[in-house]
Amino acid sequence: MAFETQAVETLPTVEGELNYLTPMAERPRNYTFDPPQGEPRSNIVPAAHRVRIHDLRPVAENAILDEQGFAVLQHHSALRDFGSEDEIRGVYYPETEALIRHVTGASRVFIFDHTVRRHIPGTLDYRDGVRQPARRIHVDHTARSGPQRVRDLIPEEAEDLLKGRVQIINLWRPIRGPVLDAPLALADASSVVPEDLVPSDLVYRNRVGETYAVTYNPRHRWFYLSRMQPSEAFLIKCYDSKTDGRARFAPHTAFTDPTAPADAPPRESIEIRSLVFHRE
């Protein structure tokens, strides 16, 4: 199969510096706004490691959501204006809901938010409403916060829904391409062990979310899709209630491709986050 070690070693690679979590005694924490006086915006100390990142392009169709934790889709969106919130919600949400349902075989897909990211050099993430490419390795949800999102967002049905299989799946797509600046790298979930994942607080003004930061493990296998186009998208598994050995969490991060030209257009992308339910 295409993701056996021998086959992976034949893929083209780039070397990228990825920001892991420096092991720490206290609980990792990030604020999404200016924190209380005397508190740092983040207590995380990044640990940069230079790793080989394999180009998925030759084997993109072989990435399996339940094995690698991610998959590559070919899909042309009907949306033309990604700057319009109304069009994103009115056109892109139902289109993406149908796509995720079709690909996963889910009985129900509930899209609960989206983020448009634009790389503006020198601007901090969350400043003035601008979302930058995320450059720390992370998983958007955890074994605890995955079910909690169901309770938060669909409280009247949550306990019944949580009796079946529940996933949180992101759909990530470039808004323009090819992506040369700040491409997305994804770790093969089968190369990640639970001890690598560290629960971390993401502090909003009205709630505290929980994500995973990731500590370095030389066994991690990293992938990206070279020169990604808007007609291509990643499905990224951020949570799965099934604990039978299938992929549950796929760490990911933006990275600097050292082979990209200096004048590469800044990356623009959109990610949709969805609760995915299965009758089982």
CA distance 35 to 111: 29
Place of tokens 């289109």: 95
Three-state DSSP at 93 gives: helix
What does the pLDDT read at residue 7?
77
What does the pLDDT read at residue 1?
46
What ranges do the domains of the chain cover?
Answer: 5-278
pLDDT tens, 127-151? 666 788 999 999 999 999 999 999 9
pLDDT band of 9, cuts 50, 70, 90? confident
pLDDT tens, 178-192? 999 999 999 999 999
What architecture (CATH level 2) is domain 5-278?
Sandwich (2.60)
pLDDT band of 2, cuts 50, 70, 90? low
What does the pLDDT read at residue 128?
60
- Residue partners of 192: CB distance under 8 A and separation at least 6: 214, 217, 220, 249, 251
